[in-house]
C-alpha cells in the first residue's frame, strides 16, 4: 500500500466479499444476552497511529467486547508491575479450550497465558489489588483512548454471565487454593464479568488498541508501556489471542490479534495501524467466522502483516 487513503476502498471490497459468505457461524449461545445476535451483522474499522479511522458496515455499532478487553487489562497491569506479573501467569499457548481446568492442576495453579479465562482472572485480580477497581480502570482507559466518553458496561450482559459463571468461579477458587488469587473470589468475579461486558464499537476498539501500533505510546503522547513491553503484548496476542486456534489465525492473518465471543477481533500492524472487526457468528473455537475471514482478506489485499 502506498497511501493510507487506500484503506477505505479495501474495507469496502472486504465487506462485499463477506456479504457473499454463505455460513457465518453461530452466536455464543451459552451467554443468553448474546445468543440472539444475527450472524449476518458485520462491521470493520482501521485506525492509523494518528487517530485517523476508516470503517465499513456497522463499524460504529456497539457490541459486547468480551475477551477483547483482556488485552487492555493485561497492558494496564503490565504497566504497573512489569515482569513480576509473569511469575503468576505464563506466556504459552494452551492448546485447550479457553475455560479449561485441566492444565491448572498439573501446573500448580499458574495459568498458561493471560488470555484464557484462568489467566485473565489472574490479571484482573492483580490489577484490582493495585487500583481498587480494575473494571473502572479499564473503562476509563477505553474511554480516553477511543475518545468516546459514552462507553459503558452492559450490566444485563454482566448479570447473564454471572448467572452462568460456575466454570469461572471454579477456576478462581482453584487458583486461590494455590495462593494465586488475592481478592475474595466473589469480588473478582464481579470485576471480571463487568470487564467482559463493556459495549464498544469497532471504531472505539480500533482506536483504543492504537497504543500497541505506537509501540506503547497512548493517544495523548504519554507512554503506557515500554517498547519492549508493547512487543511482549503483541507477541502473546499472536500466539495466544484466538483461544486454541492461534496457529491457524497466525497462518491465515499474520497479525497479533485478540478475539471475544461477542464476535469482535482486534488486530495490530505495529507502526502502521490497528483494526477491529465484528461479526457475531462464531466457529467451534469461539472466533468470529466473518471476522477472521475479513482480517485474512485485509492482510492479503494490503500486504500488511508481521511476516
What span, in angstroms and rounded, lies between the C-alpha atoms of 242 and 260? 8
Instruction: With a cut of 70, list the residues of the chain below it in pLDDT.
Output: 1-5, 97-98
User: Is residue 192 among the annotated active site residues?
Assistant: yes
The catalytic position among 10, 70, 122, 123 is: 70
Question: Tell me: the pLDDT tens digits for 103-135?
Answer: 888 889 999 999 999 999 999 999 999 999 999
Q: Name the strand (E) or helix (H) holding 74.
A: helix 70-81
User: Is residue 30 among the annotated active site residues?
Assistant: no
- Identify the pLDDT of residue 1: 43
The catalytic position among 54, 64, 243, 289 is: 243
DSSP 222-261: -BSS-HHHHHHHHHHHHHHTTGGGHHHHHHHT-S-EEE-T
In the chain, beta strands by DSSP E: 43-47, 53-57, 63-64, 152-153, 198-200, 257-259, 264-269, 273-278
- Gyration radius from the chain CA atoms: 18
The catalytic position among 261, 269, 289, 292 is: 261
Q: Which domains does the chain have, with CATH numbers?
A: 4-302 (3.40.710.10)
Counting every residue written for the chain, the total comes to 307
The catalytic position among 46, 54, 56, 67 is: 67
The catalytic position among 157, 192, 236, 288 is: 192
φ, ψ of residue 66 to 5 degrees: the values are: 50, -130
pTM: 0.96
φ, ψ of residue 266 to 5 degrees: the values are: -100, 150
Positive or negative CA dihedral for 251, 254, 259, 264?
negative
- CA distances to 30, 40, 139, 205, 278 from 11, rounded to whole Å, are 31, 17, 28, 16, 13
User: Is residue 70 among the annotated active site residues?
Assistant: yes
β-bridge pairing 63-64 and 198-200: antiparallel
- Identify the pLDDT of residue 5: 53
Amino acid at each position: 500500500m502506498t497511501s493510507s487513503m487506500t484503506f477505505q476502498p479495501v474495507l469496502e471490497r472486504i465487506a462485499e466479499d463477506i456479504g457473499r459468505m454463505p455460513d457465518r457461524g453461530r452466536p455464543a449461545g451459552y451467554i443468553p444476552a448474546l445468543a440472539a445476535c444475527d450472524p449476518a451483522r458485520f462491521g470493520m474499522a482501521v485506525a492509523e497511529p494518528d487517530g485517523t479511522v476508516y470503517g465499513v458496515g456497522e463499524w460504529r455499532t456497539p457490541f459486547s467486547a468480551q475477551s477483547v478487553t483482556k488485552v487492555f487489562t493485561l497492558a494496564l497491569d503490565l504497566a504497573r508491575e512489569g515482569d513480576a506479573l509473569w511469575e503468576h501467569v505464563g506466556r504459552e499457548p494452551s492448546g485447550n479450550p479457553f475455560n479449561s481446568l485441566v492444565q491448572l492442576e498439573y501446573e500448580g495453579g499458574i495459568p498458561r497465558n493471560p488470555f484464557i479465562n484462568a489467566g485473565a482472572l489472574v490479571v484482573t485480580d492483580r490489577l484490582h489489588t493495585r487500583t481498587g477497581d480494575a473494571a473502572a480502570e479499564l473503562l476509563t482507559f477505553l474511554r480516553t483512548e477511543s475518545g468516546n466518553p459514552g462507553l459503558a458496561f452492559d450490566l444485563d450482559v454482566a448479570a447473564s454471565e454471572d448467572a452462568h459463571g460456575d466454570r469461572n468461579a471454579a477456576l478462581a477458587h482453584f487458583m486461590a487454593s494455590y495462593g494465586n488469587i488475592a481478592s475474595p473470589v466473589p469480588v473478582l468475579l464481579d470485576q471480571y464479568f463487568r470487564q467482559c461486558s463493556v459495549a464498544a464499537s469497532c471504531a472505539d476498539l480500533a482506536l483504543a488498541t492504537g497504543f500497541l501500533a505506537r509501540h506503547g505510546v497512548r493517544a495523548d503522547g504519554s507512554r503506557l508501556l515500554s517498547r519492549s513491553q508493547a512487543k511482549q503484548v503483541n507477541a502473546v496476542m499472536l500466539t495466544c489471542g484466538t483461544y486454541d486456534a492461534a496457529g491457524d489465525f497466525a497462518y491465515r492473518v499474520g497479525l497479533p490479534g485478540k478475539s471475544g465471543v461477542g464476535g469482535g477481533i482486534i488486530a495490530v500492524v505495529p507502526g502502521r495501524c490497528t483494526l477491529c472487526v465484528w461479526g457475531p457468528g462464531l466457529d467451534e473455537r469461539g472466533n468470529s467466522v466473518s471476522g477472521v475471514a475479513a482480517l485474512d482478506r485485509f492482510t492479503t489485499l494490503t500486504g500488511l502483516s508481521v511476516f
